[in-house]
Amino acid sequence: MAKIARISSALNAVDIQQNPPPLIIGERVNSQGSRKAKEMVLKDDFEGLLNLARSQVEEGAHCLDICVATTERSDEHDFMCQLVKRLCLEIEAPLVIDSTDPKVI
């Protein structure tokens, strides 16, 4: 029997191979690709970031890319930890942690 590759959160598991494809990864909670997310990170707007995440799942994202890196902040690790804790309590979708720093991941 073939094993199915999955990505999971504490509340939900998603097949990486979607039928019909593709696997949809929400990218709006990414400070590197979204000006809105970056502004929220710079303002410590956790509620705004949660709302962005929530809306992506409601719109069909299977999992969420999370990136909080900015050149204006030096606390990426701490901010990521705080955000992930909050997301895990409210969002069922698996999170894809995105950073160039292995310590953050």
Helix or strand or coil: residue 38? helix
| Separation between Cα atoms, residue 77 and residue 102, nearest integer Å | 10
Find, among 65, 96, 68, the residue nearest to 81 by Cα.
Answer: 68
Q: Is the peptide bond before 22 cis (omega within 30 degrees of 0)?
A: yes
- Please give the model's pTM, rounded to 2 decimal places: 0.89
- Which strands, in side-by-side order, build the sheet including 95-97? 25-26, 63-66, 95-97
Q: What is the pLDDT of residues 35-64, one digit of tens each?
A: 999 999 999 999 999 999 999 999 999 999
Q: What is the pLDDT of residues 14-25, one digit of tens each?
A: 888 888 889 999
